[in-house]
Amino acid sequence: MTSARIQARGLTRQFGGGAGVAGIDLDVAAGQIHALVGLNGAGKTTLMRLLLGMLRPDSGTVRINDEPPHTTDWAHVGHLVENPLAYGELDGRTNLTLAARLHGASAAQAALMVDRVLWELNLTRYAAVRARRMSLGNRQRLGLASALQHDPEVVVLDEPTNALDPAGVIMLREALIRRAAGGAGVLVSSHHLDEVARVAHRITVINAGRVIGTLDPHGVDIERSFFALVHDDDTQHERSEP
């Protein structure tokens, strides 16, 4: 047994034209918030989809809570990758109740969970609003609520702050810190280096489908360090081109 909530070894999935990810090793430890940063098209979403079994790797392995994807208990996983999964015709509370029941909660547990997460993400006001009538940011909050309400041991969120207002960013930060303090392993991708530095215990940089290094969340100029890593990698890559 390891304390890794998520472990990837040599994970590779190549698309046409050389796009995709190659040879990714990644560990997300219990109790840690691990951020993935990279430029547009670097491979963050592809990596997350591979980790969640939404995409099949060409090679390499994934372990979630020490189990391969086909035997892991997905009820202990919460994720938001791509569009929030919500039924537009159903209101916020009903959407969350369905998600809670799908994660194995009893009706009574689901009611408690939903009340708690509506409060935690300041969605109580929108509990009776149909998902399709919600603003983009509130739909994102709903998706996050659905991913987090069952206190999963493994959390995977792709650019979760995209549509959030500053209050939402702070609320999500606190929600993730609480989940990690409770023992969850949290993997989160983001373009907001300042926010990532505030919340993450580890920061992995991905460029052109490969892990190229890490950033110190307490470093003085994280933006400069990020661009230096990416620039060095691009330069090396160009040098190795035939």
Determine, following the binding rule CB under 6 A, whether residue 160 of this chain makes contact with ligand ATP.
no
- Give Cα 186 distance to the centre of its chain: 7
Between residues 43 and 84, which has the closer beta carbon with respect to ligand ATP?
Answer: 43
Between residues 118 and 230, which has the closer beta carbon with respect to ligand ATP?
Answer: 230
Instruction: Give kind and range of the element (H or E) at residue 137.
Output: helix 136-148
User: From the CB of 181, what's the least distance to ligand ATP, in Å?
Assistant: 28
Binding pattern for the stretch 6-45 against ligand ATP, x by CB under 6 A and - elsewhere: ---------x---xx-----------------x-xxxxxx
Q: How many chain residues bind ligand ATP (CB under 6 A)?
A: 11
Instruction: Give kind and range of the element (H or E) at residue 167.
Output: helix 166-181
Sheet holding 185-189, edge to edge: 77-80, 154-158, 185-189, 33-37, 202-207, 210-215
How far apart are alpha carbons 231 and 116 in whole angstroms?
44
How far apart are alpha carbons 72 and 26 in whole angstroms?
18
User: From the CB of 112, what's the least distance to ligand ATP, in Å?
Assistant: 35
Between residues 49 and 150, which has the closer beta carbon with respect to ligand ATP?
Answer: 49
Residues 170-189 contacting ligand ATP, CB under 6 A: none
Q: Is the Cβ–Cβ distance between 81 and 155 less than 8 Å?
A: no
User: From the CB of 165, what's the least distance to ligand ATP, in Å?
Assistant: 21
**Three-class DSSP labels, 173-201:** HHHHHHHHHCCCEEEEECCCHHHHHHHCC
User: From the CB of 39, what's the least distance to ligand ATP, in Å?
Assistant: 7
Binding pattern for the stretch 40-79 against ligand ATP, x by CB under 6 A and - elsewhere: xxxxxxx---------------------------------
User: Site residues (CB under 6 A) for ligand ATP?
Assistant: 15, 19-20, 38, 40-46
